[in-house]
Structure 1
């Protein structure tokens, strides 16, 4: 009975994350920690707990800055604590569940359910869809549980999934998941999927093989960009051409910006460079505060002044507490010191390439952890990284470390079919 309860709680935790409501997922994960009571954590979990505790502690100094907003201050605390709270909740739940394949099965099943809903919504609204913007309006712009489900299917062996369905049905469901994944036309999801799978295969390990792949990958990306830029598309393009324009615009959207006077004259250009504009304003405001802000950031409660009011989430806003670029976001709130700690977290996960595995299961789990490092690294550049409301890296890592702990303690009790 207890194990069934823990499975239900884990499903609900996933759904709260997919809902992209920060307060909801934070509250539910916190409740799980209280219900779990006192439990020992493994050394890696302790290390990650220390990393995020230190990061949050730096941000707390924002309380001494009188121009910071109290409401934003407490919201920032939730945003910075939520990744580790979700990770711990996942860790404790998976430790309590006796079926050690449940984590992978639950992600895949939930991914299949959401893919079915997604494709159904696209089909019933097909007559109203004439471009990718409308496709994403009716079907949705992203779903990271579908992405993670597809990653697990591509990287791991899940015997129980194949027991639930015959071979033909299983292949049809995987095809459905793949179609749904493509129909989101999400650049981030596509790139994360590729990086994660390549990382799992060991292609980013610092070896001769890894360096060869990096060189070949760089050449491929260069050729891809040259080919893509030859297409004559613009912001008014439709269908696949609209997606090609999004790819063409990726660099300028993230890194190029506009001056405020240009935006006042024509805000249409703002959305082409939105991520870069946010980041530039944040960095300029750090510069204005001098060396203390560079070192410790502006602290929790600080907001980025956009210089002009824009409509966000159906509200006219000039001051925003969070931006898309997770690297600049951490820098803005916690300074260079906090940014070093955040980057150390990513490199810490990447270091699992070097951890010696005593079994195939351990090897596979280590590779999945490395994959999460690339997931976080890319998402930190474009969608705020671990602080994004729908980020799943925390719940995935919590489960993976729980499985590693279990396998360390019970080396002979879990079969060697793979993680």
Structure 2
């Protein structure tokens, strides 16, 4: 078999590396690799469309920096917050730059990267089962990760391969779709399931308002309500293993991020609704300091006091500066003004770029689904601010690809 090395192998490697490194769950490694790749691929010209997405993130950061001058925060926390809030912007720039070096094989590279991530994930799962003896859903997720937005995007692109003009053989397509789909499913992440449904509906054009789309969405809502009612009626146990444990997480999901009153003394109530607890404490501690912090936030370096130590990641923390909710972290750092600006980063994806090219229209539909999904993602997983997310690179990549297609 003849092995050929593509001329742009280095930039393909950079793309795969930048997508893969956040899965190591080490923010310092991620920001270091992304920053180096950004410098290595920097270009002279960028589009207005890209800056329309990035400017709101820059304004949120600017407001937070200015506000922080009125507080005396630790320098470490200030520097850390700046890197956190810069991450989406670096990702967008990086994806945009890498597309220019990988335009001819763009979607094949996206799929190749997704397959690589999926294979690594499956190997980690096998290692967790046979080496560490993982037997429960919680154990598997602990060892192999809690979600993977990128694999869902890859899976959707494979399912709609004709719309994205992928010319794999039927056998190859079947194999890679099975690998990526299996890996994505085994995360058992509720948010990823929602992401898949939203993106699937978007590519089917069911998110474009019409009589047909409204009837389909209504049918999905009714089916979901019935399915949820059945799950509730089975009363899955809180500490159950396997499928029953997963069903319990679905049972508590609708109220988990929206509860307005939580008993800290009740371990069950506190843990099942921790995301809501973060939101409550954030709103309470920002607004209690008056109108100015409510409008402009408390700046870079600010933290929330949880009133007790909580096991987060790999350590016990009482004071946190990074939350689970994208809207709340923006509110903490830059107030209501920041949230108002932040909404433009979501509205961006609802703007359709006119084109007579089917592939561009498919990207538009993918962006439409992304915009809808961001409301969910920001509420429970920080959206593009999530420390382990990689979709900001993919979005920047697709923005550049769409522009190059339109300019041909």
TM-score, normalised to structure 2, is 0.90
- Report the counterpart of residue 246 of structure 2 in structure 1: 243
- Report the counterpart of residue 215 of structure 1 in structure 2: 218
Instruction: Flag the 1:173–1:219 CA change in 2: closer, same or farther, 3 A.
Output: same
Instruction: Flag the 1:408–1:134 CA change in 2: closer, same or farther, 3 A.
Output: same
> Following the alignment from structure 1 to structure 2, what is the Cα–Cα distance between the partners of residues 303 and 285?
10
**Which SS does the other structure have where 2:302 is aligned?**
coil
Residue of 134, 137, 144 corresponding to 1:132: 137
What pairs up with 1:115-264 in 2 under 5 angstroms? 115-123=118-126, 125-126=128-129, 128-157=133-162, 162=168, 166-256=169-259, 259=262, 262-263=263-264
**Which SS does the other structure have where 1:285 is aligned?**
helix
Cα RMSD (Å): 2.3
Map Cα deviations across residues 317-355 of structure 1 (whole Å, 9 max, x no partner): 211001111112211211111111111111121122xx3
Map Cα deviations across residues 85-126 of structure 1 (whole Å, 9 max, x no partner): 111111011112341xx3322232232233333334434554
- Report the counterpart of residue 284 of structure 1 in structure 2: 284
Between stretches 125-134 and 70-79, larger displacement belongs to 125-134
Whether 1:83 and 2:88 are equivalent positions in the alignment is: yes
Flag structure 1 segments of 5+ consecutive residues without an equivalent. Answer: 411-419
Q: CA deviation at 1:191?
A: 0.7
What pairs up with 1:342-353 in 2 under 5 angstroms? 342-352=342-352
- Report the counterpart of residue 303 of structure 1 in structure 2: 303
> Following the alignment from structure 2 to structure 1, what is the Cα–Cα distance between the partners of residues 116 and 41?
28
- Report the counterpart of residue 382 of structure 2 in structure 1: 384
Q: CA deviation at 1:2?
A: 6.3
Q: CA deviation at 1:312?
A: 2.4
Instruction: Flag the 1:122–1:8 CA change in 2: closer, same or farther, 3 A.
Output: closer
**Which SS does the other structure have where 2:112 is aligned?**
helix
Instruction: Flag the 1:78–1:407 CA change in 2: closer, same or farther, 3 A.
Output: same
Contact 1:62 1:302 in 2 (8 A): no
> Following the alignment from structure 1 to structure 2, what is the Cα–Cα distance between the partners of residues 138 and 236?
18
> Following the alignment from structure 1 to structure 2, what is the Cα–Cα distance between the partners of residues 371 and 221?
19
- Report the counterpart of residue 73 of structure 2 in structure 1: 68
Instruction: Flag the 1:274–1:161 CA change in 2: closer, same or farther, 3 A.
Output: farther
Instruction: Flag the 1:114–1:11 CA change in 2: closer, same or farther, 3 A.
Output: closer
Map Cα deviations across residues 180-207 of structure 1 (whole Å, 9 max, x no partner): 2222211111110111121222212234
Instruction: Flag the 1:114–1:68 CA change in 2: closer, same or farther, 3 A.
Output: same
Whether 1:56 and 2:54 are equivalent positions in the alignment is: no
> Following the alignment from structure 1 to structure 2, what is the Cα–Cα distance between the partners of residues 76 and 235?
35
Instruction: Flag the 1:30–1:118 CA change in 2: closer, same or farther, 3 A.
Output: closer
- Report the counterpart of residue 13 of structure 2 in structure 1: 8
Instruction: Flag the 1:183–1:338 CA change in 2: closer, same or farther, 3 A.
Output: same
Contact 2:256 2:272 in 1 (8 A): yes
> Following the alignment from structure 1 to structure 2, what is the Cα–Cα distance between the partners of residues 120 and 35?
31
Contact 1:110 1:145 in 2 (8 A): no
Q: CA deviation at 1:241?
A: 0.7
Between stretches 76-85 and 370-379, larger displacement belongs to 370-379
**Which SS does the other structure have where 1:253 is aligned?**
coil
Instruction: Flag the 1:221–1:160 CA change in 2: closer, same or farther, 3 A.
Output: closer
**Which SS does the other structure have where 1:206 is aligned?**
coil
> Following the alignment from structure 2 to structure 1, what is the Cα–Cα distance between the partners of residues 329 and 174?
41
Count, aligned residues: 400
- Report the counterpart of residue 414 of structure 1 in structure 2: none
Contact 2:118 2:183 in 1 (8 A): yes
Contact 1:144 1:390 in 2 (8 A): no
Whether 1:40 and 2:45 are equivalent positions in the alignment is: yes
